[in-house]
């Protein structure tokens, strides 16, 4: 609806005169409190109208994180199931902490013209606090867990070998490799779980 659209008509119980209630802003009705025939009250709203063109994403900062996050920092926001995605910035950090949880609130404003972000739904936020250049790193999608080891499938001629790796720091996409893989080696970046499954089948057949 747009500003000025008719929301409801109420009748005065004193003068019996009708009064129109119009939308105060352009937006969407997000809550209806009154029903037809109900007595309207001055201290009770009839509708909640919200402009969802931009929405707030509120994030919880724990005590060790609070000193590191600053207003204006870039934040990647991703829906709880991986979609939608957008990049924004920290627009507000609460000046007071929350005593019960020992946390602080940080907020980002998300453009929402296409209504991809639904208020009330969980999102995840990723902020780069500092950047570090490392000699060797692999995509997180390349990692597989075999036994008690992290492995990467590395190309060895015409086949791929499960190579144990020692891991260091990571972000949402990459992880540092401390040992087990040299810079420039070719490795499987996607769907390596198929190779893991095939390796498991081979092991099972040998046991028989």
In CATH, which of 3.30.70.1250, 2.70.40.10, 3.20.20.70, 2.40.30.170 is domain 54-127? Answer: 2.40.30.170
User: Looking at residue 200, what is its pLDDT?
Assistant: 67
- pTM surpassing 0.95? no
| Cβ burial, residue 97 (10 Å; 0-12/13-18/19+) | middle
What is the phi/psi pair of residue 202, to 5°? -60, -40
Residue of higher predicted confidence among 42 and 176: 176
Q: Where are the alpha helices (DSSP H) in the chain?
A: 192-207
Does the N-terminal peptide bond of residue 84 adopt cis geometry, omega within 30 degrees of 0?
yes
Residue spans of the domains in the chain: they are: 5-50, 54-127, 137-205
Residue 204: pLDDT over 50: no
In the numeric block, the tokens 């991986």 are attached to: 82
Closest Cα partner for 140 from 69, 192, 94, 70? 192
**CA–CA gap between residue 165 and residue 143 (Å, rounded):** 9
Residue 188: pLDDT over 90: yes
**CA–CA gap between residue 160 and residue 186 (Å, rounded):** 9
Mean pLDDT across 79-93? 92
Q: Where are the alpha helices (DSSP H) in 82-169?
A: none
Structural fold of domain 137-205: 2.40.420
Q: What is the pLDDT of residues 2-47, one digit of tens each?
A: 888 888 787 777 777 887 888 888 878 888 887 777 776 777 788 8
Residue 111: pLDDT over 90: yes
């Amino acid at each position: 609806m747009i500003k000025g659209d008719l929301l409801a008509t109420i009748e005065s119980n004193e003068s019996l005169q009708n009064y129109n209630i119009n939308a105060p802003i352009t937006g969407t009705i997000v809550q209806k409190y009154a029903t037809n025939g109900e007595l309207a009250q001055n201290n009770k709203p009839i509708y909640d109208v919200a402009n969802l063109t931009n929405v707030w994403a509120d994030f919880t900062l724990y005590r060790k994180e609070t000193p590191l996050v600053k207003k204006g920092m870039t934040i990647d926001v991703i829906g709880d199931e991986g979609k939608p995605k957008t990049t924004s910035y920290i627009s507000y950090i609460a000046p007071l902490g929350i005593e019960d949880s020992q946390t602080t609130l940080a907020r980002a404003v998300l453009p929402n013209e296409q209504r991809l972000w639904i208020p009330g739904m969980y999102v995840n936020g990723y902020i780069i606090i500092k950047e570090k250049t490392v000699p060797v790193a692999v995509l997180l999608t390349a990692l597989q867990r075999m036994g008690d080891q992290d492995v990467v499938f590395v190309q060895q001629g015409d086949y791929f070998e499960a190579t144990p790796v020692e891991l260091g720091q990571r972000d949402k996409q990459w992880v540092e490799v401390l040992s087990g893989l040299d810079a420039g080696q070719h490795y499987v970046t996607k769907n390596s779980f198929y190779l893991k499954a095939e390796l498991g089948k081979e092991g099972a057949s040998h046991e028989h």
